[in-house]
Amino acid sequence: MERIHSINPQRIAWCCADQGITPSELAFELDIAAASIERVMAGEDGITFNQLRKIAEYFSRGVLFFLETGPVDEAQVHTPQFRTLANQKPEMSIKLKAFIERVEKQRAVYLSLCEDLDDNDRPCFKPPDLPLQDPREAGRIARQWLGLNDENSFDDYRAAVEAQGVLVFRSNGYNGQWQIAKENPVLGFTLYDPTCPVIVIKKQDWESRQSFTLFHELGHLLLHKASSIDDEQDFQSHEGREREANAFAGHLLVPDEFLARIYDADLPDDVSQYDEWLKGQRKAWGVIGEMILRRLLDAGRLPQGQYKAYREWWGQSVATSKDDRGSRKYRHREPKHVFGNTFVRTVLDALNARHITLAKASDYLDNLKISDLHQLESHYAGL
């Protein structure tokens, strides 16, 4: 089989270093003879196109990337936002890095389509000024800015944030390019941009858990004006910016007037009954029981020992919900769940205005089949 000899070994070496692996480990991962990779790196021999394609796909690059001359310009390959996240989590997996880059590309697609459409009605990101050291007041201002009612679901929260010019993506529950692996501890991240920031939330067992992730990441946007990536440990942090984002999310989701509606005298003796005790509030406010209990703890209305006991019970008793397995019966709606209404409507508007082809629209919407794409159009048309 014909071999390609114009491969730039510097670019393979850069990708390996960027992902924290050696060329030998790359060869093992892709089932390519180590000797073949060694000769390519030494500039002595080439590899087949199929082998080069496997390397390109592994690093989420195009084949031409490895045929270009000269060294890699990291400033062009990785945005400042990407580098911020990579510096926060140096151990980030290859798949997660590729996921972040895909999110950045989707944002670029969105902005390009808005420009083509000359869309003056596109939500504009104009964040309010929030007091960093007063999470209670920051939460109050943010709730007003978002126009939230007393009762909200995750979808309500997401729509409110999107209406303020923030794209909100959520990973899906299926193995593919828009999934954050369940074993990956990352729960969410935000890519800051003064005109079009993006918040990404990992799909979790309960949407109410996603609500806290959404507003924790919004806290980084509004309070810190910075990109951030957060795992379970960050959400439990009591220091620095993570503590500030947690406090902001807590006061936004469960303000003091909400806490006043809870009667301490009704607190069950058994922590396993706490969720049932708070069932009405959890449903109305779209939050998990732990969020409410944390606010009660911070308000001095729940002993630390009981809060800790509840967390231990909850961690041992929670089973994966059916929602995590999902069904692909409504495949045509998946882009809406992953990319949100703002992004999907923009793609469909561009398609209807003939700024993009069906093939392009399919590509932007997670490679929907054309038949599914037409179903999605009908769904948005209310047919």
Q: Are residues 124 and 169 both part of a single domain?
A: yes
Q: Are residues 237 and 269 both part of a single domain?
A: no
Distance of alpha carbon 79 from alpha carbon 88, whole angstroms: 14
Structural domain contains residue 55: yes
- From the list 288, 276, 336, 318, the residue with the least C-alpha distance to 155 is 336
pLDDT of residue 26: 93
Final residue before a domain boundary, out of 62, 77, 92: 77
- From the list 155, 153, 154, 173, the residue with the least C-alpha distance to 324 is 173
Residue 6 amino acid letter = S
Structural domain contains residue 325: no
- CA-based torsion, 81, 85, 86, 87: positive or negative: positive
Distance of alpha carbon 297 from alpha carbon 278, whole angstroms: 15
Q: Specify whether the CB–CB gap between 93 and 184 falls below 8 A.
A: yes
Q: Are residues 112 and 241 both part of a single domain?
A: yes
Q: Are residues 237 and 294 both part of a single domain?
A: no
Structural domain contains residue 259: no
Structural domain contains residue 258: no
Largest alpha-carbon pair distance within the chain? 79
Q: Are residues 222 and 364 both part of a single domain?
A: no
Q: Are residues 134 and 239 both part of a single domain?
A: yes
Final residue before a domain boundary, out of 54, 77, 100: 77
- CATH no. for residue 38? 1.10.260.40
Question: Is the whole model's pTM more than 0.85, yes or no?
Answer: yes
Q: Are residues 240 and 133 both part of a single domain?
A: yes
Structural domain contains residue 70: yes
Q: Are residues 223 and 277 both part of a single domain?
A: no
pLDDT of residue 324: 45
Q: Are residues 116 and 221 both part of a single domain?
A: yes
CA angle 231, 234, 236 (to 5 degrees): 115
Q: Which residue has the tokens 């954050």?
A: 180
Task: Mark the ranges of the chain whose per-residue pLDDT is less than 70.
Answer: 1, 318-329, 383
pLDDT of residue 150: 94
Q: Are residues 272 and 370 both part of a single domain?
A: no
Structural domain contains residue 303: yes
Final residue before a domain boundary, out of 77, 95, 127: 77
Q: Are residues 183 and 109 both part of a single domain?
A: yes
Distance of alpha carbon 217 from alpha carbon 242, whole angstroms: 10
Q: Are residues 182 and 226 both part of a single domain?
A: yes
Structural domain contains residue 292: yes
Number of domains in the chain: 4
DSSP string, 221-251: IIII-S-EEEEHHHHT--SHHHHHHHHHHHH
| Domain membership of residue 369 as a residue range | 331-381
- From the list 196, 201, 221, the residue with the least C-alpha distance to 114 is 196
Q: 78-97: per-residue pLDDT in tens?
A: 888 988 998 999 888 888 98
Distance of alpha carbon 7 from alpha carbon 169, whole angstroms: 36
Q: Which residue has the tokens 């398609």?
A: 351
Q: 278-331: per-residue pLDDT in tens?
A: 999 999 999 999 999 999 999 999 999 999 999 999 888 764 444 444 456 678
- From the list 142, 108, 110, the residue with the least C-alpha distance to 123 is 110
Alpha helices (H) along the chain: 9-19, 23-30, 34-41, 49-58, 74-77, 80-88, 94-117, 135-146, 154-162, 207-219, 232-235, 240-253, 256-259, 274-277, 279-285, 289-298, 304-317, 334-352, 358-364, 370-381
Structural domain contains residue 326: no
pLDDT of residue 1: 63
- Sequence-distant (6+) residues with CB within 8 A of 35 are none
Question: Beta strand 3-4 with 167-170: parallel, antiparallel or unpaired?
Answer: unpaired
